[in-house]
Chains A and B, each alone.
Chain A
Amino acid sequence: MSTQNLEQKLKTYRLSDEEYKLMTGLLGREPQTVEWALFSALWSEHCSYKSSKIHLRKFSFRNEKTPEMDGENAGVVDLGFGERIAFKMESHNHPSFIEPVQGAATGVGGILRDIFTMGARPMMSANYLCFGEAEAPRMKELMRGVVKGISSYGNCVGVPTVTGQTNIHSKYNKNILVNALNVGYFGPGQKMALSNASGPGNLVVYVGAKTGRDGVHGASMASESFDENSEAKRPNVQIGDPFFEKLLIEACLEVLEKDYVVAMQDMGAAGLTSSSFEMASKGQVGLVIDLKKVPLRDSSMTAEDILLSESQERMLLVCAPKNFEPLQKTFKKWGLDAAILGEVQKNRKVKLMWGVEILTDMDPDLIVEKAPRYERPFNKWDFPRRTDRLTTPSNFNAKSWIDKALNNFKLNQFHWIHNQYDQRVGARTAAACDSAVAFARLDHSGRGLGLVVGCRPEVMMMDAEIGALDAVYYPAFQLAIKGAEALAVTDCLNYGNPQKLELMSEFVASVDAIAKASREINAPVISGNVSFYNETLGENIISTPATGLVGLRESVEDIIPDQFGSAFQSLVLVQMNWVESWVHVMAADEKISLFKQNVTCDVPQFIKRCAQMDQEFQKQNNFVTSIKAVGLGGIATTCLKMTTDLVGFDLSFDQVNTKSEDLFKDTFYGFILATEDLDTALDFLKKHFKGLAVDIKKIGETTDQKICLTKDAELDFKDFRNRFMKGL
């Protein structure tokens, strides 16, 4: 092949020179026919994790509740009482930027499949979104479109969307983030399905929607940064059909229950290619597949088109020959096709046929196991913004800061987003989008499963290591104050270009920090996803390691709400000073704060002690009526978020010692509670947190439709509430 020809091929298939050499070395020859496409898809960053794999090994910590599920689709947590959950988070950033409704919808569909492919019934959905400023080009359309996509898909498929986080920052103007999370449930005795093919002679079966040209070359797109031509790019947008997905869920769970299935894998990124090669590689067996047998929507498709198609709502499974007929009958009942594509063979090769023509006969390990593993250069993290002396920002004006934040959606309830999600289908929801932490009732034991997402981009901007620790600590803390101890973590690591030294350094620092925090709180990182190249014309996003945490609460009864209940109650703050900064205040002016860190603080111990509080509250007649973790923007911003249309607050209680800016200072971590019985509350808290370096004090009171920050700064209550609740 001429050099020019080769250059063109490498460009088309997005492989580097080194990867080409590696590929030909492994094959022992030039790649032929579809092999270019196979390597292109499976060696893309999105499928192979080539820039991250060596670091992701740091998430190997497991405990007795989290069995090793090496290479499986989602992580599993054993909750006891015969109950287990599977959960995972995934990104769909690049497709959502191109077509927000379908990009977000297919993101939801994809993560659902990762869950039910294991035999778990999807139970709760969540999302983590990062948008640019509302005034940035296309941003309003992107925001509305993404929310529409998530809601239309999630609602139709019948899984409640119970929690999420929406972040707004100019760094996402050209690269939005759309991460979708799902938790699935296994009841007592319910079988789990694995994805390793086995049993020579067993059939390889294709089920679900017919294959079309959707998203051909999609996996490679996710691995590539946007350039000037992105807007003009018109890939064949993958269309998700939640109705079809609902049928697929029912049919798959039914055949798994009836034990007709040996192994199952969903066709996600790189469709049939990844599912077939991965099933074979994991199972250490071979497969023979005739691509002519794939049910097609478009009969003009070539073998390569078929292999790379990302048509949605399709699964690949392995079953014993005797089970095919009843399996097909079950799928037919649900209106779905089941077609035999081939069979499992002992000879450890994946043989792809086009009728009688052999397209490739390859050892799957060459592509899967032997995929490149890059050791991208990075520097050790050295806390560039840590300081001993933190100076207060000058000229801070609380009212104008709040005004600005309300205008640019940095201070918003996002009610307009949440009320487009069906939060209660399933009749299990005890707490949803109104609170930071969602809870659903587990069917068998009646206990409450808590779910929360984490990662605060502004903290990440300040420091990648602190921000990554925070991405685990803070949601664990939020779970704890509602009475749930964190059990496990999933993540979606959204970063820019890993070939840039400073960004790779942030990535490594983040992974190390998340691994450390997860060990400290005894909540293993059991699944996850990496999205690199969130970059446009050289500009990168804030490094954003989004997380999802689950926790368990004794029951779903009497969960204390985030919002104020009634006026004339006392507000008490309990706070540990691990990190102090002015993150949120300075972010309003697009500045990055320095921070002070107290390394002697035992954050995990504080979190643990908090988790024991809720049961005590219940024993003592529920003297706490609201409780919320202090978020960015300090106690003032948190109180603003706790207001309702009837109840406000007054923080001018102890104005001798407090400057208005101190009300907005960021101190990690603290919580605010509202109580009718101040003395009991203070007594209890002092006893409960004995031995820990925490501050406990009254900070103010709830009011009847008034908001008072300091004696000189009172807000117009109705105006604030209207603007806080306004939507797009």
Chain B
Amino acid sequence: MKVGIKIMPRDVILDTQGRAVENSMKANGFELQSCRVGKFLELSLVTADQIKAQADVEKMLKQGGLYNPLIEKFEIQFM
């Protein structure tokens, strides 16, 4: 089973990449209000059970260090 995880900076956290991209796009005349940059992880899991998959992925996130809760937030997406 393929599961996607969207990891973005937490809303209060300064997103330095997003800021740079935003300023560059605006400087080149593109119409953009704001931009935040994160990352997308694609995980292939052995299980076909969605409930188990959710639990396994959350374990990887919270115990396996897949994201940094101090500065990031995540969203699990079943693909």
State if A and B touch, Cβ cutoff 8 Å.
Answer: yes
> Which residues of A approach B to under 8 Å, CB–CB?
98-99, 102, 141, 209, 212-214, 234, 236-237, 239, 241, 243-244, 297-298, 311-312, 335
Residues of B within 8 A of A243 (CB): 16, 20
Check B23–A239 contact: CB distance below 8 A. no
> Lowest 8 A-B CB distances belong to which pairs?
A241-B16, A239-B14, A213-B12, A236-B12, A99-B70, A237-B70, A237-B71, A212-B14
Complex alpha-carbon distance, A141 and B64, angstroms: 13
- B interface residue count range (under 10 / 10 to 19 / 20 to 34 / 35 or more): 10 to 19
Asked whether B2 is an interface residue with its Cβ less than 8 Å from the other chain, the reply is no
Count of CB-CB pairs between chains A and B under 8 Å: 35
Complex alpha-carbon distance, A239 and B11, angstroms: 13
26 example contacts (A-B, Cβ-Cβ < 8 A) are as follows A98-B70, A99-B68, A99-B70, A102-B71, A209-B14, A212-B12, A212-B14, A213-B12, A214-B13, A214-B14, A234-B69, A234-B70, A237-B13, A237-B70, A239-B13, A239-B14, A239-B16, A239-B71, A241-B14, A241-B16, A241-B19, A243-B16, A244-B16, A244-B19, A298-B12, A311-B14
- Considering only residues 19-36 of chain B, those with a C-beta below 8 Å from chain A are 19-20, 23
Complex alpha-carbon distance, A297 and B65, angstroms: 29
Check B70–A335 contact: CB distance below 8 A. no
Tell which of B12, B14, B19, B69 has the most Cβ of chain A within 10 Å: B14
Check A236–B13 contact: CB distance below 8 A. yes
**Closest residue on chain A to residue B16 by CB atoms:** A241
Complex alpha-carbon distance, A98 and B70, angstroms: 9
> Which residues of B approach A to under 8 Å, CB–CB?
12-14, 16, 19-20, 23, 65, 68-71
Complex alpha-carbon distance, A236 and B13, angstroms: 7
**Closest residue on chain A to residue B24 by CB atoms:** A335
**Closest residue on chain B to residue A233 by CB atoms:** B70
Whole-angstrom distance between the Cβ of A244 and the nearest chain B Cβ: 7
Contacts A241-B19, A298-B12 given; 8 further ones with Cβ under 8 A? A212-B14, A214-B13, A237-B13, A237-B71, A243-B16, A243-B20, A311-B14, A312-B14
Residues of B within 8 A of A239 (CB): 13-14, 16, 71
**Closest residue on chain B to residue A216 by CB atoms:** B12
Complex alpha-carbon distance, A317 and B16, angstroms: 24
Residues of A within 8 A of B71 (CB): 99, 102, 237, 239
Q: Decide: A335 near B13, CB < 8 A? Known: A234-B69, A234-B70, A239-B71.
A: no
Complex alpha-carbon distance, A102 and B14, angstroms: 11
Residues of B within 8 A of A297 (CB): 14
Residues of A within 8 A of B65 (CB): 141
Complex alpha-carbon distance, A76 and B15, angstroms: 35
Complex alpha-carbon distance, A99 and B68, angstroms: 9
Whole-angstrom distance between the Cβ of B32 and the nearest chain A Cβ: 16
Residues of A within 8 A of B16 (CB): 239, 241, 243-244
**Closest residue on chain A to residue B69 by CB atoms:** A234
Complex alpha-carbon distance, A320 and B55, angstroms: 61
Whole-angstrom distance between the Cβ of A153 and the nearest chain B Cβ: 11
Complex alpha-carbon distance, A239 and B9, angstroms: 11
Tell which of B20, B23, B69 has the most Cβ of chain A within 10 Å: B20
Complex alpha-carbon distance, A95 and B16, angstroms: 19
Residues of A within 8 A of B68 (CB): 99
Complex alpha-carbon distance, A214 and B71, angstroms: 11
**Closest residue on chain B to residue A312 by CB atoms:** B14
Residues of B within 8 A of A102 (CB): 71
Whole-angstrom distance between the Cβ of A332 and the nearest chain B Cβ: 11
**Closest residue on chain A to residue B68 by CB atoms:** A99
Whole-angstrom distance between the Cβ of A299 and the nearest chain B Cβ: 13
Residues of A within 8 A of B20 (CB): 243
Complex alpha-carbon distance, A141 and B19, angstroms: 28
Residues of A within 8 A of B19 (CB): 241, 244
Complex alpha-carbon distance, A312 and B68, angstroms: 20
Residues of B within 8 A of A312 (CB): 14
